[in-house]
Structure 1
Amino acid sequence: MSSASDTICAIATPPGRGGVGIIRISGSEAYTLALSLTQRSELTPRHAHFCSFFDHQGEPIDSGIALFFNNPSSFTGEDVVEIQSHGSPVVMQQLLHELCRSGARIAEPGEFSKRAFLNDKIDLIQAEAIADIINASTDIAARNAHKSLQGAFSDYITDLLARIINLRILVEAGIDFPDEDIEFAHTDAVQQELRALITLLKTTLRTAQIGQIIQSGITVALIGAPNAGKSSLLNQLGGLNKAIVTDIPGTTRDTLDTSIDIDGIPFTFVDTAGLRDTTDTVEQAGIAKALDLIDSADIVLFIIDATTLTNDTYRTDELLSPALSERLTARPFLAVINKIDLSTTVPPSIPDAIDVVSIAAKHGTHLDLLKRRLIHIATGADSTENALSARQRHISGLQGTLDSLEYGLEHFLTTRASELLAEDLRRAQDRLNEITGLFSADDLLGEIFSHFCIGK
């Protein structure tokens, strides 16, 4: 059974062959194990030592670099040794075998970062940022995660906590010392600070939501009748001829996707079978998948062939069968009028849609406009600058904090009950503490760190 006092080891480099492979060791016996592995009498902290690595019988395994970081001046806060050898999977496994034979155990996923958190080297936001950097799929996602690792998001939370704590002091002083003529809780200053905190939290929450979108990405479903140009749009967006394009209705029968980076957000566009009534069993299956995607996608683009339009305004049920139209309009969608290069009519309005964008997918006309509109729909903003690298856990915590402050302001304005406000402020403080990990259940920590790499 694993224990936090065990000395742990793991490969810290990606699986497979490479020029260099790194094994990380952490724990009270890390230094002793490294001396045994290298057959050296000492390792100077923070110095690179070129040496050979030996098995328990004294036979050389490989040669490379050994680096020792003594506690508490290490990533985990424990004694840490990094062994850098040639990146052969065979060599890596031999070195791990010798370390485990001498008393170490293989680290659990994320255990190095978990120990850093438990030893107060990083907070929970910073620990999660390590995994976010590794998993980042765009430049902006990586930069945002790095800012969180450096403490930018934590600083936001710390500042909010300090202001909430100061407000609690004011309110509870009036409760605890009623005979001292302390009337802080009955002044406009409390209301003003509450309102200022609510405004700041809304801004922070929105910034975190944009950061989560940048980290997790957006799925966009391309929906429309056959030959509307969905596959052409997919090919143009992806810069590849992934989708087969013909004049034959029903060419696309299964979903096909492509991923692109738009302003730092990873978008995945999914081409689908054309929506129409058909007796073809295979095509029906493709249409069913398209309809399911309408429900699961983050954004739906309804692609419409401009050459089929003659009116100034169209309802969706005039463009699709009633059943298909009902399914589409059950959620917000963006109407995209395609093939405007082949039409002489003015693009119509589609009242059911949240907006209408006109393009010529085959030639890439107005695709920049479409991309900007997608960014705005996804984030509610025109830019992704200054976003925080965030997860749903952080957003739930910020929303819970905001709810508590809004409840507190409502209670204070309607009842003037300082006791109710004090309780709401305590709840707000607790929700923020959960974000940084000051108060975190063991099962939550287990869930967070279980998604890390073994060597992290």
Structure 2
Amino acid sequence: AQRSLKGEFSERIRALEELLTGLRVYVEAALDFPDEEVDFLADRAIAERLQSLKSDCDQLYGTAQQGHLLRDGITVVISGPPNAGKSTLLNTLAGDQRAIVTEHAGTTRDLIRETINIQGMPVQIIDTAGLRDTDNPVEQVGVELALQAAEKADLLIEMISAEGIDWSKLTSPEARGLNFESGVMAQAGLKGSTTPRIRVINKVDLYSQQALAAERNQDHGDSGLDPLYLSAKNGTGVAELKTRIANIAGLQPTEQSPFIARRRHLQAIDQARLAIDRGIQVLEQQAAGELLAEELRSAHDALAEITGKVTSDQLLGEIFSSFCIGK
């Protein structure tokens, strides 16, 4: 946090702006004053400077993203049918009895939130009502709240119980009862959601190692989401779950302390790097000077959301100070 408080983040942004200003001066001078014979399209150094600028921007974005994760963290929603063990998992992750756990389906009706720490990143875990069709009006409200929370989540933990698996039918996910994409979850549109997810088969402590080994070797469908085998009750697999959460969030070990960046700063840097990348493409593929200038302007405007707008008069002043225009 100290690196941000001392202004190092702002210094890095301004360094990017200086590089960007230099490029814009060169490109826009060539476009606005063609008689000056500034042929940037044939200048290989421009392409190299663009690549260097993109590399610096990517590096800053990565460092700032890590800081954002450490500052704001992510929200993880535990979703699944009743009695899958969602509340037990919340309690295990929290290290405390935060949610009521009973053998009766539908015990959890409201959203229960608990913030934990994973590798220095704050993670808000939300336990939700079991997803099922019900005539109980109170439970219906709970299911609706659960679906709303799932839609807003940064990461979904989709949980089912190993009790629902028919271990004797090891032919297909459907035959075994791996119903991650059935029932209310599919009806609510979560099946087609782009939200990252971790699929969990809970209560594996009830079964033998031989049965688990056989299940792990089976086909899990075409989703590419191999389930995590877990026991929320005795903690088996919980460490791996935390590792998967950190990996999906994008948390990475770094030798330097990351900048504690706000979300809007991240968005601005991301917009700048995307614009620079588009500029590289139009230069290499189309040799389109005006399109390159437009993308560089877009990148500059994005960074200016952090540091302040750059006026056309300021840029024109840079052009006249850098070239002997009209002399």
Question: Residue type of the partner of 1:341?
Answer: D
- Please give the residue correspondences for 1:33-432 in structure 2 after superposition, counting only pairs within 5 Å: 143=1, 146-175=2-31, 178=34, 181-309=37-165, 310=167, 311-312=169-170, 313-314=172-173, 318=179, 321-327=182-188, 328-331=190-193, 332=195, 333-344=197-208, 345-346=211-212, 347-348=215-216, 349=220, 351-352=222-223, 354-379=225-250, 381-383=251-253, 386-432=257-303
- Cα distance 1:280–1:352, how it changes in 2: closer, same or farther (>3 A)? farther
Find the aligned partners of 2:124 and 2:98 in 1 and give their Cα distance. 13
Aligned to 1:12: none
How high is the TM-score relative to the length of structure 2? Answer: 0.79
Find the aligned partners of 1:350 and 1:242 in 2 and give their Cα distance. 34
Bigger relative CO (Cα 8 Å, ≥ 6 apart): 2
- Cα distance 1:276–1:188, how it changes in 2: closer, same or farther (>3 A)? same
Find the aligned partners of 1:375 and 1:409 in 2 and give their Cα distance. 32
Deviation beyond 6 Å, 4+ runs, structure 1: none
Higher strand share: 1
- Contact 1:317–1:325 (8 Å) recurs in 2: no
- Cα distance 1:353–1:286, how it changes in 2: closer, same or farther (>3 A)? farther
1:17-55 CA distance string (max 9 Å, x none): xxxxxxxxxxxxxxxxxxxxxxxxxxxxxxxxxxxxxxx
**Cα distance, 1:288 vs. partner?**
1.6
Find the aligned partners of 2:68 and 2:18 in 1 and give their Cα distance. 25
SS in 2 for 1:432: helix
SS in 2 for 1:304: strand
**Cα distance, 1:351 vs. partner?**
4.2
**Cα distance, 1:194 vs. partner?**
1.3
Gaps of 5+ in 1: 1-142, 441-456
- Cα distance 1:178–1:320, how it changes in 2: closer, same or farther (>3 A)? closer
Higher helix share: 2
Aligned to 2:325: none
- Cα distance 1:407–1:284, how it changes in 2: closer, same or farther (>3 A)? same
SS in 1 for 2:116: strand
Question: Residue type of the partner of 2:183?
Answer: P
**Cα distance, 1:325 vs. partner?**
2.8
1:220-276 CA distance string (max 9 Å, x none): 111112221111111111111111112122221222121111112111111111122
Query: Which deviates the most, 404-413 or 270-279?
Result: 404-413
Q: CA RMSD, aligned part only?
A: 2.7
- Cα distance 1:288–1:433, how it changes in 2: closer, same or farther (>3 A)? closer
- Cα distance 1:251–1:417, how it changes in 2: closer, same or farther (>3 A)? closer
How high is the TM-score relative to the length of structure 1? Answer: 0.59
Find the aligned partners of 1:242 and 1:202 in 2 and give their Cα distance. 40
**Cα distance, 1:414 vs. partner?**
4.1
- Cα distance 1:321–1:182, how it changes in 2: closer, same or farther (>3 A)? closer
Find the aligned partners of 2:7 and 2:80 in 1 and give their Cα distance. 45
Matched residue count:
295
Query: Which deviates the most, 257-266 or 208-217?
Result: 208-217
- Cα distance 1:427–1:228, how it changes in 2: closer, same or farther (>3 A)? closer
